Amino acid sequence: MASRIGFNPQDRFMVAQNDILVVITNRGDVFGAAVVNQVLQPVFQFDGAKIGFNTQDRFMVSLSFSDTLLVITDDGSVFGAAVDLPSQTILPVVQFTGARIGFNAQDRFMVAMDATHTLLVITSAGNVFGADVDVVAHTI
Q: How far is the CA of 15 from the CAs of 36, 99, 134, in angstroms?
A: 16, 23, 20
Q: Quick check: 87 and 128 in contact, CB under 8 A?
A: no
Say whether pLDDT at 2 is over 80.
Answer: no
pTM, entire model: 0.93
- Give the residue among 28, 31, 38, 39 at the shortest CA–CA distance from 15: 31
Calpha distance 78→61 (Å, rounded)? 11
Q: pLDDT tens digits for 70-113? A: 999 999 999 999 999 999 999 999 999 999 999 999 999 999 99
